[in-house]
Structure formats: structure tokens, C-alpha cells
């Protein structure tokens, strides 16, 4: 009997149209948990580095997390993993919504897709009945539109549908997969889906999901619910409002956007508008949001209302995710009315709400600089906002300059030449970052930006305050009920962290402390991604209801796997290292691990070197960021070691070590 998981994957060969239901090895669940962890294992085993993102041999894996479909509040994430056409590394974007639990109820943990369908198709999973169906009539349809049409033609209003829009069909490098009120957007996984000729996956399930020790599991769930209520009633003091509560930043609930609009960059991540937010703007934006926002909505089994249905007059209703609220507005230097309107079209096209606006602003900037000529931009309208609609339409259809921009700023700049790469200035590992340009180097964020392999800061940060509190009293107040820390030492780190003076950034927290803090932050995200938990109730906010102390109990009582904090930490480290191993095998090295040059004005090259050196050692990686044989052995990843030696990525220490060297410490 399998608990929490179903124990079965669907293996779909789109080339041959073959469908198989395959039982999985419970031993893998113990080692890699599920979701991201087991996805990484499958990608390591089955997608060697020679496989290109758009090769039929690339896999596209849709996975529910280990605890999705159990009563654990907020556990509803689908982890989609593949090789990204943009970064050429492993992409593991995720989405909330309702899809993953439905897949579990249908009797599967994962859908593993390989090959390429000769015609556009969609997959219909209805409990034990799984079919590949023609999708010719859905070609060019919007992602949300597709979901509605599929539900109608199947006469199954309760089916959950994950679909791509035009951007995915045309293999735009930042195409998303849209579903419910959520999307898996980062890394261009929608392009891989389009390349495989798969328009959508619809799923309906009416089977049971079991937990191993019901009463104990329910007790844990009740504690979490109670704590969520407590946190909703007691927001954290002394931090900006969006960081005070739980959930993903409550973008759709708040009117006050002073912090984002004055601290994040506008245009192509260039301009800071320090006095932007005034009464007039506040009143106008509040009116816009109140007029267009129909309701605040949630994902499956979660009380946090992080999304909203938006009905802009004259446009179809769509569901908005948190920060897309501002990305289009700010890239176009426009207002909220424009932002909410263009996001409707962008969501139907299925593009990433971070990359797409930045790519368009990059295009406009290149045109202003004369690098893109009037001829390149033939047909560009005169109005600023019309230009963004025009560019969006060109990009998703890969028409004219759109065909170049559809590859993202990094690849587009290389193709355009003429110094365009200086305008693709906000990337890490070829991927567009949040539009932030700051003054003083933050050593914690330096490490997260440099080494995060989800390549998105929101997917590694959290738990630890982003900046020191002003007074010791505030700090003492904060640590008083901070039971989520894995170790008491973190409280001391925070207590001693001052905004100015000796114990301030960049030299405090010390290098060693930064390693501890970043490792904790990253670990919690990786655990979430294996369990299918939303980071909004776990790794992202301050003082979350899920943490390293109750997670092992959830896994034990839920999945029936004997788990404690040490074992869970080890498991997370195992598949985190495996993600790195996949990327190392694809060529990623230390040289790639750097935040954008201009992210901070005040940089400290020596300190940054020390940070990276120390963190690599701390993680068990060598000076080039490659996991060492010794650390791989400790994690039970000798198969990675062997592969690295065979490929010449590592040299065999046992063979090459000078006599006696191995015992020195």
C-alpha cells in the first residue's frame, strides 16, 4: 500500500502515441521524496547532456508533489521539469491551482512525456482512461480559451486543464504553461510543450488518496490551520506590508504599491522613480483595481487569496497571478489600467510575466538607441502602449523582429549584435531577472543570486528578513516567537545584524553566517518543491506554518516514510545536488554563477570571491562549483560520481590522490 503518493506514473510517447501506466519504486520516494526530487532523478537517468531542449529525447515531466492531494493545506503545486531552451539547463518551474491534486485523484504522481507528436494533440486523463486527442481545432487558441473549449467538448466541467497559448505553440523561449489561476512560467517550459506538439493536458480524478497515520496527520493539519489564522491576525511588525503576512505577496489585495513602484526599476530595468507614488496615482490605481477586480481567489485547499479574477471593460475575464500586476505597467512606464489590460492578452498567449515585459522594453530601448532600425521595427505604432501590444503580438507569432525577441534578451542580443548585449543587462544564466538595482551589496542575496538553480530570486529567498531591523528591541521582539529556525544560532545572527556600523552589510552577516542562512533558505524551497507545497505558506514568508520541525512529521504520518529533521535535510541535499549535477553535466560552472554586474552599485570583488569559495566548500562542491566525489558518496550519489569521472568532469580522487593525502584533514 502506498500512502500520500499513488505509486504510478504515466509514460507517454508522443511520437508513437503510446501510453503506459508504470509502477514506481518506493525506494526512490525515500531517497528523493517526490515532485522535484524524483523529477531530477528521472532527468539524470534518461536525459543525457547531448540531448537538446527541442529534441524528441528531451522529457517534459508534470509531477504532483509527494503530499499533494492529502489534506495538508496549500499543498497543490505541479512541478514541471525539462531542459530549458533559454538556459539550456534544467528548468523546474511550478504552478499552483488545481491540477496536481486532480492528477493524484486520477491515480498518478507524474505524467512523463517524450517524443514529438506529428500533429497538435492534447492529453485527456480520466481516471484509468487516458487518450491522446486531436487538437487541430485548438491551434492558435488562448490558454484559458483552450481550457474552456476542452471542458466543453469533453462535457466534463470538473476537468482541470493545463494548456499553452500561441507562445508555446511557436516555441517562444519564455512561453508558460497556464492552468486555473496559476502558471509554470520560468525557463520556457511552454516552448518545450509546444515543440512536443502538446496543446494541453486535461485531467479528472475520482479516486482516494490515503495517508499512513490518519489521526496524527490530521492533528498536524489542524495545527497548521490554527497557526495560519494566528498569522493572519498578527502580521509581522516593522516590515513592509507585503512581507508581513503569509501567502505570496498579496498583490491583488493591496492598493498601496509605493514600495514596488519606487524601489523596483521601470523600463528595461533602468529607471528608479523615487517620487512616483503620490495621492493622485494612488487614487487612480485604486479606482482601476476596484473596477476590474471581481474576486480574490485561491488555489486548491488553501485559504490564502493570492490571485484574483480580473474583468477589464471590453475584455474577457482572466485570472491574475501576483506580480504580473505591475511588470507590464512598469516595463512600459505606464499605469495600472494598461498593465491589467495587456496582462489579459499575455495570459492567453501564455508568456512569463517577468521575462515578456522585460524583453519588450529591451526591444524598445534597442530601437531608441538605433541598434534596431526603423526597418527592423517596420510597422511599429507611434503610441507607447500600442508599441507593447504590437511587440507582444509579433513575439508570440515569431513575426519579423518578434522572431528574434522571442528567444529572450540574452539570445536576441547575440543575434542582433551591434553592442546589443549591453542592453541584455539583467540576466543570470541567460534568464531575465526581477527589475531590481540596488546600492550596497547584500552578501546573502549575492549567494542566492549566484548559486540559485531555479534562477529566480523569489524561489530561493525567504524565512530570514531581507534587511536588518532598525533597533535591537525590534530584533528581540522578532526572535521571541521565531520557532521556525533550524538552529538557535540564527536568532543570534539576526539580533546582532545592524543597519549601520560594524555589524552591517556587506561584512555582516559574516561569510560563514551567510552560508548557513542561504543553505536554510534554499533547503526549505527544495523541500516545498518535492512535497508540492506552496512557498507562500512555507519557504517564502517570514514565520511560516510549515518548517523544518513539522515537515518530517507530515512526511512520516502522511507517506509512512520514517523521517526526521536530519534525514529530511539529507534527502533535500541529495536531490538539490542532483539538480546541480544535471546542470554541471550540461556545462554550468562557476563562471556562470554571478548576479548582473549592475545589480548593486557597491561591489566587493574580494568578499564576493570569499563568499563563493566558502559556500562551495560548505555545500561539498569544488572550487568550480562541481560536487566532489566525497560529497556525492555521502549522499549516495556514486552513480553521479562515476559519470563525472567518465566524462572527465572530475578526476578520480582514489586513483590520483598522492599517498596519504586522503586521510589528511
Distance CA 308, CA 295 (A): 5
Q: Measuring CA to CA, which residue among 121, 115, 108 is closest to residue 201?
A: 121
Q: Which position among 35, 115, 144, 190 is part of the footprint of another protein (CB under 8 A)?
A: 144
Distance CA 596, CA 471 (A): 32
- SS3 category, 522: helix
Residue closer to another protein by CB (options 69, 452) is 69
7 is a site residue for another protein (CB under 8 A): no
Residue closer to another protein by CB (options 348, 593) is 348
H or E element that contains 307: strand 307-310
Touching another protein, residues 312-371 (CB under 8 A): 316-319
Distance CA 77, CA 60 (A): 16
654 is a site residue for another protein (CB under 8 A): no
Q: Which position among 240, 254, 281, 297 is part of the footprint of another protein (CB under 8 A)?
A: 297
Q: Which position among 154, 225, 240, 607 is part of the footprint of another protein (CB under 8 A)?
A: 225
C-beta of residue 166 within 8 angstroms of C-beta of residue 155: no
Cβ neighbour number for residue 415 with a 10 Å cutoff: 12
157 is a site residue for another protein (CB under 8 A): yes
Q: How many residues are given for the chain?
A: 665
* Interior/surface letters 320-349, b for 16+ CB within 10 angstroms, e for the rest: bbbbbbbbbbbbbbbebbbbbbbbbbbbbb
> Residues binding another protein: what is the number (CB under 8 A)?
42
23 is a site residue for another protein (CB under 8 A): no
Give the interface segment with another protein, choosing from 82-90, 214-222, 277-285, 573-581 (CB under 8 A).
Answer: 214-222
Distance CA 443, CA 204 (A): 46
Residue closer to another protein by CB (options 178, 608) is 178
Q: Measuring CA to CA, which residue among 69, 106, 71 is closest to residue 207?
A: 106
Residue closer to another protein by CB (options 91, 319) is 319
C-beta of residue 72 within 8 angstroms of C-beta of residue 594: no
C-beta of residue 198 within 8 angstroms of C-beta of residue 14: yes
Distance CA 362, CA 406 (A): 12
607 is a site residue for another protein (CB under 8 A): no
Residue closer to another protein by CB (options 187, 245) is 245
Q: Which position among 15, 18, 234, 294 is part of the footprint of another protein (CB under 8 A)?
A: 294
Q: How far is CA 492 from the centre of its chain?
A: 30
Distance CA 7, CA 533 (A): 19
Give the interface segment with another protein, choosing from 59-67, 221-229, 283-291, 608-616 (CB under 8 A).
Answer: 221-229
Supply the minimum distance, in Å, between the C-beta of residue 513 and another protein: 37
383 is a site residue for another protein (CB under 8 A): no
Q: Which position among 198, 299, 312, 637 is part of the footprint of another protein (CB under 8 A)?
A: 299
Residue closer to another protein by CB (options 226, 609) is 226
Q: Which position among 38, 298, 459, 521 is part of the footprint of another protein (CB under 8 A)?
A: 298
Identify the DSSP state of 265: P
180 is a site residue for another protein (CB under 8 A): yes
Contacts of 234 (CB under 8 A, 6+ apart): none
Touching another protein, residues 231-250 (CB under 8 A): 232
Residue closer to another protein by CB (options 232, 623) is 232
Supply the minimum distance, in Å, between the C-beta of residue 653 and another protein: 49
Supply the minimum distance, in Å, between the C-beta of residue 248 and another protein: 14
Distance CA 638, CA 334 (A): 54
Residue closer to another protein by CB (options 14, 534) is 534
227 is a site residue for another protein (CB under 8 A): no
Touching another protein, residues 304-323 (CB under 8 A): 305, 309, 316-319
Convert residues 33-72 into a mask of x (bound to another protein by CB under 8 A) and - (unbound): ------------------------------------xxx-
DSSP-assigned states of every residue in 1-35: ---SS-SEEEEEETTTTEEEEEEPPHHHHHHH-ST
Q: What are phi and psi of 90, to 5 degrees?
A: -70, 130
Footprint on this chain of another protein (rule: CB under 8 A): 69-71, 73, 98, 105, 144, 148, 157, 180-181, 205-211, 214-215, 217-218, 225, 228-229, 232, 294-303, 305, 309, 316-319
Amino acid at each position: 500500500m502506498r500512502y500520500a503518493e499513488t505509486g504510478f506514473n504515466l509514460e507517454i510517447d508522443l511520437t508513437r502515441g503510446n501510453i503506459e501506466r508504470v509502477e514506481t519504486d518506493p525506494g526512490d520516494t525515500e531517497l528523493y521524496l517526490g515532485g522535484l526530487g524524483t523529477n531530477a532523478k528521472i532527468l539524470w537517468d534518461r536525459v543525457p547532456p547531448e540531448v537538446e531542449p527541442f529534441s524528441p529525447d528531451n522529457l517534459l515531466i508534470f509531477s504532483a508533489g509527494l503530499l499533494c492531494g492529502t489534506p495538508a493545506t496549500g499543498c497543490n503545486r505541479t512541478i514541471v521539469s525539462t531542459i530549458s531552451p533559454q538556459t539550456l539547463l534544467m528548468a523546474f518551474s511550478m504552478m499552483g491551482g488545481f491540477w496536481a491534486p486532480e492528477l493524484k485523484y486520477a491515480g498518478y504522481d507524474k505524467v512523463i512525456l517524450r517524443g514529438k507528436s506529428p500533429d497538435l494533440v492534447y492529453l485527456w486523463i480520466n481516471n484509468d482512461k487516458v487518450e491522446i486527442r486531436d487538437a487541430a481545432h485548438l491551434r492558435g487558441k488562448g490558454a484559458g480559451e483552450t481550457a474552456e473549449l476542452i471542458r466543453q467538448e469533453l462535457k466534463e466541467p470538473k476537468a482541470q486543464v493545463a494548456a499553452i497559448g500561441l507562445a508555446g505553440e511557436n516555441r517562444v523561449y519564455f512561453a508558460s504553461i497556464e492552468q486555473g489561476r496559476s502558471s509554470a512560467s520560468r525557463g520556457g517550459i511552454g516552448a518545450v510543450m509546444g515543440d512536443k506538439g502538446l496543446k494541453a493536458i486535461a485531467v479528472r480524478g475520482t479516486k482516494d488518496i490515503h495517508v499512513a497515520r490518519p489521526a496524527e496527520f490530521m492533528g498536524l493539519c489542524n495545527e497548521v490551520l490554527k497557526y495560519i489564522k494566528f498569522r493572519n491576525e498578527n502580521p509581522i511588525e516593522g516590515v513592509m506590508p507585503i512581507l508581513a503576512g503569509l501567502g505570496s505577496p498579496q498583490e491583488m489585495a493591496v492598493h498601496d504599491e509605493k514600495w514596488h513602484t519606487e524601489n523596483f526599476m521601470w523600463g528595461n530595468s533602468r529607471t528608479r522613480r523615487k517620487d512616483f507614488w503620490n495621492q493622485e496615482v494612488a487614487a487612480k490605481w485604486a479606482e482601476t483595481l476596484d473596477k476590474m477586480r471581481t474576486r480574490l481567489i485561491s488555489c486548491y485547499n488553501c485559504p490564502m487569496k493570492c490571485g484574483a479574477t480580473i474583468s477589464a471593460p471590453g475584455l474577457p475575464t482572466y485570472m491574475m497571478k501576483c506580480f504580473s500586476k505591475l511588470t507590464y505597467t512598469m516595463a512600459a512606464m505606464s499605469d495600472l489600467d494598461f498593465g491589467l489590460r495587456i496582462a489579459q492578452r499575455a495570459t492567453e498567449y501564455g508568456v512569463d510575466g517577468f521575462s515578456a515585459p522585460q524583453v519588450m522594453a529591451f526591444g524598445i530601448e534597442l530601437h531608441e538607441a538605433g541598434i534596431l532600425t526603423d526597418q527592423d521595427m517596420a510597422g511599429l505604432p507611434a503610441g507607447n502602449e500600442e508599441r507593447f501590444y504590437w511587440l507582444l503580438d509579433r513575439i508570440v507569432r515569431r513575426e519579423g523582429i518578434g522572431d528574434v525577441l522571442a528567444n529572450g534578451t540574452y539570445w536576441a542580443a547575440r543575434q542582433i549584435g551591434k553592442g546589443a548585449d549591453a542592453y541584455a543587462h539583467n540576466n543570470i544564466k541567460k534568464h531575465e531577472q526581477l527589475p531590481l538595482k540596488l546600492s550596497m551589496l547584500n552578501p546573502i542575496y549575492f549567494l542566492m543570486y549566484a548559486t540559485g538553480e531555479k534562477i529566480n530570486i523569489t524561489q530561493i529567498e525567504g524565512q530570514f528578513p531581507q534587511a536588518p531591523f532598525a533597533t535591537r528591541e525590534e530584533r528581540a521582539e522578532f526572535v521571541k516567537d521565531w520557532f521556525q529556525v533550524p538552529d538557535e544560532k540564527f536568532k543570534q545572527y539576526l539580533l546582532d545584524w545592524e543597519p549601520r556600523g560594524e555589524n552591517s552589510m556587506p561584512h555582516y552577516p559574516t561569510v560563514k553566517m551567510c552560508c548557513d542562512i542561504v543553505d536554510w533558505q534554499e533547503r526549505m524551497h527544495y523541500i516545498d518543491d518535492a512535497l508540492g507545497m506552496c512557498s507562500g505558506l512555507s519557504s517564502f514568508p517570514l514565520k511560516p506554518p510549515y518548517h523544518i520541525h513539522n515537515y518530517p512529521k507530515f512526511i512520516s504520518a502522511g507517506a509512512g516514510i520514517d523521517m526526521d529533521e536530519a534525514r529530511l535535510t539529507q534527502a533535500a541535499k541529495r536531490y538539490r545536488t542532483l539538480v546541480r549535477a544535471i546542470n554541471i553535466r550540461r556545462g554550468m560552472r562557476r563562471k556562470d554563477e554571478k548576479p548582473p554586474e549592475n545589480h548593486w552599485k557597491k561591489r566587493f570583488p574580494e568578499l564576493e570571491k570569499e563568499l563563493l569559495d566558502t559556500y562551495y566548500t560548505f555545500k561539498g562542491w569544488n572550487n568550480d562549483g562541481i560536487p566532489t566525489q566525497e560529497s556525492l558518496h555521502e549522499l549516495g550519489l556514486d552513480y553521479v560520481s562515476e559519470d563525472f569521472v567518465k566524462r572527465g568532469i572530475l578526476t578520480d580522487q582514489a586513483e590520483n590522490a598522492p599517498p596519504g593525502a586522503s586521510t589528511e584533514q
